[in-house]
Structure 1
């Protein structure tokens, strides 16, 4: 078993979010100024962007730490940890939107789902588990 520690941290603030919000707000301001749209219509159109603005402001981090004995994860205010000897296998589910969700299947068939935002790129993560001799099962495009 390896003594290396696998660490992945993702900040909540991203350039992609900023790159999306700038044109959205430019369009909303343009609608207000050029088309004389009602302020309440602009407000309604801006409502779906508020969670992204909140994440830009707060910058919550998400990540995972995998060492020789434990896996720990955090996402905003949520966090969790598992001892590696409790894990029967890790399950990597490829969804219909091509995202990969990760679950720890414990001995006794209980599942613990890792938050999507705290999981690293799946190939690196899968290799980290294989290095620690934890079986990895992959499923593709299932309904369950």
Structure 2
């Protein structure tokens, strides 16, 4: 494998989350003003934005990097690493919601799922794995990985 290092990093705070929360709260406010929606009902709907608000406030970081020796990843307070000598192949599963989940399949048959938030965009990740000589398997629209 080449000595190049692949690195990916992301933050929990991003513009898509900000706009989504603002849009939901705006629609709820309009429903209260124009339709005279029940405040308790709009409060319940607004509660579904609390995880997004937490991500905006806490801004948890996540990422993944690898070199010719192995791979490391982190997500909020969790982190792990694998040596390439332990890995048989990387499995990339496209789910029904079009998200791609990455799993390291070890030589022993054990599977280690990478945290979704630490997984890079699938095409760049797969290209970097191929460039490094790591075998990959693609599985599209699988329900169980």
Whether these two folds match at TM > 0.5 is: yes
Counterpart in the other structure of 1:14: 14
Counterpart in the other structure of 1:124: 124
**CA–CA distance in 1 between the matches of 2:107 and 2:48?**
41
Counterpart in the other structure of 1:67: 67
1:45-93, Cα deviation, whole Å (9 max, x unpaired): 1110000000011111111011111211111222211111100111111
**CA–CA distance in 1 between the matches of 2:33 and 2:140?**
48
Counterpart in the other structure of 1:93: 93
**How far 1:35 sits from its partner (Å)?**
4.3
More off after superposition, 27-36 vs 9-18: 27-36
Structure 1 portions without partners, runs of 5+ = none
1:105-124 alignment to 2 at 5 Å?
A: 105-124=105-124
Counterpart in the other structure of 2:27: 27
* TM-score normalized by the length of structure 2: 0.90
**How far 1:34 sits from its partner (Å)?**
4.4
* TM-score normalized by the length of structure 1: 0.91
More off after superposition, 7-16 vs 27-36: 27-36
**CA–CA distance in 1 between the matches of 2:50 and 2:137?**
37
**CA–CA distance in 2 between the matches of 1:81 and 1:116?**
15
1:2-60, Cα deviation, whole Å (9 max, x unpaired): 11111000111111111111121122223334444443222211110000000011111
Structure 2 portions without partners, runs of 5+ = none
CA RMSD of aligned residues (A): 1.5
- The answer to whether 1:134 aligns with 2:139 is no
| Secondary structure in structure 1 of the residue aligned to 2:48 | helix
